[in-house]
Amino acid sequence: MNIVDLITIPLQYPFMVKAIVVSSVVGAVCALLSCFLILKGWSLLGDAISHAVLPGVVLAYIIGIPFSVGGFIFALLAVLLIGSIKTHTKIKEDAVMGIVFTTLFALGLILISRTVSSIDLMHVLFGYVLGISDVAAWYTIGVSAVVAAIILTFRRTLLLFCFDPTHMQSVGVSAKFIHYFLLVLLAVTITASLQTVGIILVIAMLITPGSTAFLLTKRFPVMLVIASVVSVVSSVVGAYASYYLDVSTGGAIVFFQGCVFLGAFAFSVIRSHRKKNTSVVSV
């Protein structure tokens, strides 16, 4: 089988085309958001919110409303709980996040174990993009496109918030508003990604692309581009891997992202050693 056949054969199936497109769009918006999360140091917060949406998804199934609605409500609940506990206690933020997200995640697991379901709710944990419906696919693409447009439009404001919220406050922009604005974008992105890679694997998609780009450049516009390219390419490779190797699509996407990160890490280490050796020779 030649390379052309390897590429075109999976594209003969509509579910594969849909999986590639949806995964790429979700990967792109997660990559954009990951750059801000890495710069702000909010990686653990993304982890917390992604786990906290599980009970909302299960309750949404029980009530008969879209999964994204229940997930979004519980994502906001997690944000409010974390903020409230952090404000009124001396417990450090990372500990608060750990308590909130593990408690809500455990509640979700309890609800799953007690819910008689005609569908496999475990797909919420790990995603099932190959089986995503047309309606869900269009919803995911639409929400992801809107979030990406908002991020790109307000990227300078969000970047200022990441680096100097005090200066932002001094020029008349509410840092508190931008704080919650970014959290809402994070919550929307996570709930839109549920059926693509699931609650657990979306954490990696919100951390790995931005981290990879951060290793390769210090220019933020370039960082956005690198993160997006890494995420989209990983989504395409992961989808093809799931077809040919009969493995989890979400798992293949995240694994490839991790491999790219390790490659970027090795490259950055080699580049750093070369710069040191060059400076020693110059001296």
Identify the pLDDT of residue 98: 87
Cα–Cα distances in angstroms (integers) from residue 101 to residues 145, 175, 188, 250, in the given order: 27, 25, 17, 22
Identify the pLDDT of residue 266: 94
Identify the pLDDT of residue 118: 57
Residue 107, C-beta contacts closer than 8 angstroms, at least 6 positions apart:
54, 55
Cα–Cα distances in angstroms (integers) from residue 8 to residues 3, 14, 17, 240, 242, in the given order: 9, 12, 10, 10, 15
Q: How many domains does the chain have?
A: 1
Q: pLDDT tier at 54 (50, 70, 90 boundaries)?
A: confident
For residue 2, pLDDT beyond 80: no
Per residue in 198-247, pLDDT (tens digit) is 777 788 889 999 999 999 998 999 999 999 999 999 999 999 998 999 88
What's at 231, amino acid-wise?
S
Domain with 237 in it: 3-282
For residue 255, pLDDT beyond 90: yes
Q: Please give the average per-residue pLDDT across 35-48, as a whole number.
A: 85
Identify the pLDDT of residue 120: 60
For residue 39, pLDDT beyond 60: yes
**What are the strands, taking DSSP E only, across 51-192?**
none
Identify the pLDDT of residue 207: 92
Coil, helix or strand for 20?
helix
- Give me the helix-helix angle, 43-52 and 194-205, nearest 10°: 150
Which domain CATH number covers 97? 1.10.3470.10
Considering only residues 273 and 116, tell me which one the structure prediction assigns the higher pLDDT: 273
Identify the pLDDT of residue 67: 78
Q: pLDDT tier at 132 (50, 70, 90 boundaries)?
A: confident
Q: Please give the average per-residue pLDDT across 247-276, as a whole number.
A: 90
Residue 226 CA to residue 133 CA, distance in Å, equals 30
Q: pLDDT tier at 174 (50, 70, 90 boundaries)?
A: confident
Identify the pLDDT of residue 122: 63
For residue 13, pLDDT beyond 70: yes
Identify the pLDDT of residue 171: 79
For residue 103, pLDDT beyond 90: yes
**pTM of the shown model:** 0.87
For residue 150, pLDDT beyond 60: yes
Q: pLDDT tier at 63 (50, 70, 90 boundaries)?
A: confident
